Structure 1
């Protein structure tokens, strides 16, 4: 008789900012499954766990969010103020450069934190929104963000949404992750 090898046990840590209502997440999870799940509040750009705590780390769509709102993007006198848009790829050069500079810092903080938390730097899995190498990219996500920005501005014109809130909403789309990793030779510590 063949021995049945036990399935590995997984403990999943869901991470989000402190204001997230993890109870809503846990209520939505199927009760018929056996798993271990925990909610961990804090920024993905900082350390969240003790050193060498994990064999495998997976991140989904969290790196496109900047660690903080850039001052120059909400300063109406700044060349990097992104008025009327919620994304930056089709924006002024100053807006794109502000995002690229800050994203570079954020990704370095992310990788440094994960490098300390993982047992071995062999397995780190993450997802990002597709690359947008130049401002002429017709990527679907950019079109969606442009439509969202237009719709929000239309709502502002109608007085249904505060225009300043739309102008201060900027969604980041990182476009140079590979070059950031290569420039550090994959070594962020």
Structure 2
């Protein structure tokens, strides 16, 4: 039974490590790359395509929702109402103020990364998770073999609720491989 408990402890630790890596924050470089992809969207074409055919009409950009402004035009107090949804506003601002946003957000990312080990790049993350999942499967096979040995010896053993059904339902010959 000690061997089974040790295997289960190793399984629990491996599962925790997988969760820790999956939930780890992005590396600073990865976060900066995401920012660049966000800011490098083709905003001028997007904005231009959102205007109606007649610019003298009320201009509507995507969902008419979030922001509404009245802008005085000329001496006669005419107004042009511009309605912009938040996504379109974000695209327009990233196009107009991209350099300032890039500088501000990059500085904030660097500040947040200070003192933290964010060295796990996406490729490393995937490789680590794959290695740990292989280890987890090997441990679960060992656990099932031990459970079957204890059951064969007449000892009652319960299985973990999160045990892999493909392993639990495997034939003995499949576990040996």
TM-score (norm 2): 0.29
TM-score (norm 1): 0.27
With CA pairs under 8 Å and 6+ residues apart, which has the higher RCO, 1 or 2? Answer: 2
